[in-house]
Structure 1
């Protein structure tokens, strides 16, 4: 990110205000996507405050499920210590791919040629005169 854009934007990463706000907070970990997680201070309910600084665009679907549970106080300790190791059959988490070339497109989608399967004949259109 350019030095001129950083003071004013939040959608492409942490602004300078966020960086100053994280002074004195503890860095607790990093996920496979490069997002960094912090903890420090207390909220009004007495729970510890927790943050994520995204490595790239600010998109909450880019938070790994185990870190999501930590951010939302579903587990008390960081995921590497609080959760069991992933199973061999589990796939790694993916961010939301909507709007990208890797998005899911069913066979009838315009991006895949727009050819739908023919109707089976079990549909009869409603008409007001019938």
Structure 2
């Protein structure tokens, strides 16, 4: 959350349109004003404001608001985490190129950690330590 003066300044810069300010407060949790840098193939919008505090200058507005960081493409993820300076729409190395084996429709692969669909490995090796099981011989 930001200070009240920063919030008022950003509201002044963005415009006090009820939709923009409410949208940012609802989904980002803060008011931000910046330039649109690009849009990825999933429809996420990426913004940058170099007048803001360090490491708070870049952010993403997800298209699907049940958002997951796995919905960000690798090139955009590198840009938004400050690993590279140029966004993928300006850097040909980071730009997305469809591979022959990929589907034509763009769908992000969800992160299924802590869900029923999460990967759970099973062990194929006999345990080194076993529990003691009592065996009683039958009486005659």
TM-score, normalization: structure 2? 0.52
2:58 to 42, 46, 50: 50
Query: Which residue, 81, 88, 93 being the options, matches 2:99?
Result: 88
Deviation at 1:63, TM superposition (A): 1.3
Distance of aligned partners of 1:83 and 1:94 in 2 relative to their CA distance in 1, 3 Å threshold: farther
Q: Structure 2 CA distance, aligned partners of 1:49 and 1:90?
A: 36
How well do the aligned residues superpose, as a CA RMSD in angstroms? 4.1
CA distance in 2, matches of 1:104, 1:77: 34
- Aligned residue pairs total 105
C-alpha displacement at 1:76, in angstroms?
0.9
Query: Of 46, 69, 81, which aligns to 1:72?
Result: 81
Given the two structures, how large is their TM-score scaled by the length of structure 1? Answer: 0.55
Given that 1:76 and 1:82 are in contact with CA atoms closer than 8 Å, whether structure 2 keeps it comes out as no
Which runs of 5 or more residues in structure 1 are unaligned? Answer: 109-118
Q: How far off is 1:51 after superposition?
A: 0.7
Gap regions ≥5 residues in structure 2: 1-18, 135-140
- Residues 91-119 of structure 1, C-alpha deviation per residue, up to 9 Å, x if partnerless? 5752314548xx466798xxxxxxxxxx8
Query: Deviation per CA, 1:19-57, whole angstroms, max 9, x where unpaired?
Result: xx22xx100111111111000134544x67101011121
User: Whose strand fraction is larger, Structure 1's or Structure 2's?
Assistant: 1
Give the superposition deviation at 1:80.
2.2
After superposition, the Cα gap between the structure-2 partners of 1:89 and 1:127, relative to the gap in structure 1 and judged at 3 Å, is farther
- Aligned equivalents of 1:49, 1:8: Cα separation in 2: 15
The offset of 1:82, in angstroms, is 1.6
Q: Which residue of 2 aligns with 1:115?
A: none
